Amino acid sequence: MAMRWAVLVGGAGTNLKALLDTGFPVALVVSHRRTAGALGIAAQYGVPAVVLTAQEVGGDRDAYDRRLLDVLESQGIEAVALAGFLRWLTPALVDRYRGRLVNLHPSLLPAFTGLHAIERAYEAGVLWTGVSVHFVDEGQDSGPLIAQVPVPRYPTDTVDDLAMRVHQVEHSLYPRVIWALDQGFIEWHPTRGVLWQEEVKTWIHGL
């Protein structure tokens, strides 16, 4: 069932690198920032990359996402993974890729949605935070959950210690979920929700 995947980025690209290190065939990288480290990783691995900044595209969110959709469709993209792409997608783009559009978030959703989730979890003094992978809907980090892995916060942790532990889980979990989606082991159904083939559950969560 292999699909053509795009990864939308905006940061250092560590999750993109983790995915590429597994040998997963990413067809396209799109960044909303020209200075994103992820662009260098795409170049290193020979993955085509496109930069779409809001300033260069002009207009509003709808105009940006129309341009983004044009790029994705021109490359035959069938599924999309967000990895540090800090733009809120419009309903039109979400609808186009619904059930094939996923996001990684560094908390146990629905806790700590939005930006700076690790720092806010640390400041709140929680004993556990974690990593969530979910299908994207029109809300903020609110789509149907696919997988979650808890991460402990130890009494001696600095925020950097906690962030490192969260990122380690991200780098293992996200490639596994993307692979399972690509192979049809996980699906989204409009009335039945997230559907799993049981044999991959233990493998995905066994980090």
CATH of the domain at 1: 3.40.50.170
132 and 56 part of one domain:
no
13 is in an annotated binding site: yes
| Same domain as 68, residue 127 | no
Residues 132 and 163 placed together within one structural domain of the fold: yes
Q: Which residues contact 162 (CB under 8 A, 6 or more apart)?
A: 118, 121, 122, 129, 151, 153
47, 77, 97: which is the final residue of a domain?
97
**78 & 116 share domain:** no
Q: Are residues 55 and 126 in the same domain?
A: no
199 pLDDT above the threshold of 90: no
Same domain, 184 and 148: yes
Same-domain status, 47 and 136 = no
Q: Would you say 100 is a known binding-site residue?
A: no
User: Residue 144 has what DSSP assignment?
Assistant: P
Same domain, yes or no, for 66 and 121? no
Q: What are the pLDDT digits (tens) for 42-73?
A: 999 999 999 999 999 998 999 999 999 999 99
pLDDT in tens, 20-34: 999 999 999 999 999
Set 105, 134, 167, 171: catalytic member: 105
Q: Which of 78, 97, 116 is the last residue of a domain?
A: 97
* Of the residues 66, 97, 128, the one at which a domain ends: 97
pLDDT of residue 46: 98
Q: What beta strand segments (E) does the chain contain? A: 5-9, 26-31, 49-51, 79-83, 101-105, 128-135, 145-152, 186-189, 193-196
pLDDT at residue 207 tops 70 = no
Q: Active-site residue 32, yes or no?
A: no
Are 34 and 109 in a shared domain? no
Q: Is residue 147 located within the same domain as residue 167? A: yes
Is residue 51 within 8 A of residue 71, CB to CB? The reply is: no
Which residues lie below 8 Å from residue 170, measured CB to CB, with a gap of 6+? 14, 15, 18, 104, 106, 131
Query: Could you list the residue range(s) of the whole structural domain that residue 85 is in?
Result: 1-97
Q: Would the annotation count 158 as a binding residue? A: no
Residue-level pLDDT at 1 = 60
- Domain total of the chain: 2
Cα 163–169–175 angle (5° rounding)?
A: 130
Report whether pLDDT(142) > 80.
yes
Residue type, 20: L
Any binding-site annotation on 61? yes
Contact 74, 50 (CB under 8 A): no
Residues 114, 77 within the same domain: no
Which tens digit of pLDDT belongs to each residue from 157-187? 999 999 999 999 999 999 999 999 999 999 9
Q: In this structure, are 22 and 122 located in the same domain?
A: no
pLDDT in tens, 77-122: 999 999 999 999 999 999 999 999 999 999 999 999 999 999 999 9
